[in-house]
Amino acid sequence: MNPHRTSIKIGVGLQILSAIVIYLLVNHLGFVHYERFDFSRSQKFALAAQTKTVLKEFKQPLRIIIVSSPTFLSPTSSLLPDLRNLITEFLFNKREGLLVEYVDPTRNLTRAEDLKTKYNLSRIDDLVILEHEGRHRLLNIIDTGEFDFSQIPQGGPPVLLSFRGEQAITAAMLTLLKPDTENVAFLQGHGEPDPARQLSTLSAAITDQNARVQTLSLASSDSVPQEVSAIVIAAPKSDLDERESAILAAWLRAGGRMLVLLDPNADTPNLRALLASSGIIPRNDRVLRLIQLPFATGILRDVTGQVLQDAEITRRLEGMNILFPGATQSLDINQELIKTEKIRIRPLVEPAEEFWGETDHAPNQPDGVSYQDGIDHGQPLVIAASADRNAVEDDRVKVQSSRLIVMGTSQFAFDASLTPQGLDLLVGSINSLINRSEVSGITPKTSTRFLLHLTDDQLSRLALVVMIAMPCASALLGLLVWIRRRA
């Protein structure tokens, strides 16, 4: 046998074996460690940070059963493709402990009857069933979409406007993780907005966190009801009376949780004194900046806030900018009170670098405004802060402590002004007040469909490009390649 040929065979064999090993290793690494990116316009296939966090919180298996027939003509059938894509994303983000089953009640009659008996259901179609540790939640698939039914009287089909399956399923998963419903009370009686009307978007988002929204009046009460987990004071137009202020101060010191959204234009000395007793002092200023217009210098009062990540409340919102429309006042921190009492105060949001706190903020000033060192409040400014009494330094250690969150503005919370970023900040604050910071994060957003309206002229040009220009360009390129090869 030729030794040279033998060594060549051995070398080739080793190369083939190495290629196979490398191929298997690359595929294994790609299967275990991978990243998915969503480049779609609406980020339709990207899960929200809160959804990913909630999925990770399930230590025991979570079962999701989708009971629906794709062949049955109904508005629900138009939701099934989006629902399947959403469940696929769930599986990509939680590879273990997530069991998914699709049941067609028109074909798998036995399984449908088993589910109907097990969950004591009167009907077994168009449902999402979530089960975890013996508890289950039911979700109607029709509730995951918003439809336009205006064309039905003319014989047209319902039109799907938006898909909100991620919000609905994430809310259902939260009820499985946190079966106890917390009560969030909005204080009333001082000109505050109605949470069911002007703050309906925020109220719906709180409900999605498995919390109950209610109103609270202290006019005829001597204490805060025991079932209240957190209080929201949003944009009061008039001040608290001394009795109400004393009730809230005692409740806070006893471990209460409160979120305060200030109206800078309201005169509320008792409310300011209540906040100052916890170390957060609202300043009598307006946060603003100057902008250069084409023919003049203007005043920008809509504040761009930058979220700080040093606190548990805002850690998952790192790097987010939030627009605060309307009047905004800055907050001062009482350093002496921090030393004398066991209070931990942390800034949550600060305005962008160009803003300052203008103390002479009377409207229609003939000479305009400008920053005056020593009179106005310069950077660093704080427009949202939290104060924890009897808390520990490590946020991972859960102790029963009082928590106060104060924001020097409130207009951004109203339905007409609320942005997705502002909603994330508010929901994160509420979750921290009701001890659910571990499942906080950027909340799921509604996937809205849009229509592309083209004129007849645009359609004609598009058809010309697709049907003539592109095939001719391909044929010309092929002809050039053929001529080059012949040459």
Task: List the chain domain ranges.
Answer: 49-173, 181-439
Supply the pLDDT for residue 8: 81
As a whole number, the mean pLDDT across the chain is: 84
Mean per-residue pLDDT, 2-24: 84
Confidence label for 397 from pLDDT (cuts 50, 70 and 90): very low
Taking 60 as the threshold, does the pLDDT of residue 442 lie above it? no
- Name the least confident of 43-47, 310-314, 450-454: 450-454
Supply the pLDDT for residue 41: 60
Mean per-residue pLDDT, 196-207: 92
Please name every residue paired with 350 in a beta bridge, in sequence order, or none if there are none: 306
Mean per-residue pLDDT, 72-86: 82
Q: Pick from 68-77, 222-231, 308-317 the range whose average pLDDT is largest.
A: 222-231
Cβ(422)–Cβ(307) under 8 Å? no
The Cα–Cα gap between 51 and 59 comes to 15
Supply the pLDDT for residue 440: 60
Higher pLDDT, 149 or 111: 111
Mean per-residue pLDDT, 367-381: 84
Report the first-to-last Cα separation within the chain, whole angstroms: 49
- Name the least confident of 10-19, 52-61, 365-374: 365-374
Q: What is the pLDDT of residues 258-299, one digit of tens each?
A: 999 999 999 999 999 999 999 999 999 999 988 877 777 778
Confidence label for 179 from pLDDT (cuts 50, 70 and 90): confident
What's the CATH code, domain 181-439? 3.40.50.880
Mean per-residue pLDDT, 152-158: 74
Taking 60 as the threshold, does the pLDDT of residue 366 lie above it? no
- Name the least confident of 308-312, 425-429, 451-455: 451-455
CATH topology of domain 49-173: Glutaredoxin (3.40.30)
Mean per-residue pLDDT, 312-325: 80
Taking 90 as the threshold, does the pLDDT of residue 71 lie above it? no
Confidence label for 450 from pLDDT (cuts 50, 70 and 90): low
Chain-centroid distance of CA 174 in Å reads 14
Supply the pLDDT for residue 36: 67
- Name the least confident of 28-42, 367-381, 438-452: 438-452
Confidence (pTM): 0.74
Mean per-residue pLDDT, 332-343: 84
Taking 90 as the threshold, does the pLDDT of residue 385 lie above it? yes
- Name the least confident of 214-218, 372-376, 441-445: 441-445
Supply the pLDDT for residue 485: 85
The Cα–Cα gap between 206 and 213 comes to 7
Supply the pLDDT for residue 396: 47
Written in H, E and C, the secondary structure of 353-367 is CCCEEECCCCCCCCC
- Name the least confident of 39-53, 110-124, 219-233, 374-388: 39-53
Written in H, E and C, the secondary structure of the chain is CCHHHHHHHHHHHHHHHHHHHHHHHHHHHHHHCCCCCCCCCCCCCCCCHHHHHHHHHCCCCEEEEEECCCCCCCHHHHCHHHHHHHHHHHHHHCCCCEEEEEECCCCCHHHHHHHHHHCCCCCCCCEEEEEECCEEEEEEHHHHEEEECCCHHHCCCCEEEEECHHHHHHHHHHHHHCCCCEEEEEECCCCCCCCCCCCHHHHHHHHHCCEEEEEECCCCCCCCCCCCCEEEEECCCCCCCHHHHHHHHHHHHCCCEEEEECCCCCCCHHHHHHHHCCCEEECCCEEEEEEECCCCEEEECCEEEEECCCCCCCHHHCCCEEEECCCCCCEEECHHHHHHCCEEEEEEEEECCCCEEECCCCCCCCCCCCCCCCCCECCCCCCEEEEEECCCCCCCCCCCCEEEEEECCCHHHCCCCCCHHHHHHHHHHHHHHCCCHHHCCCCCCCEECCCCCCCHHHHHHHHHHHHHHHHHHHHHHHHHHHHHHHC
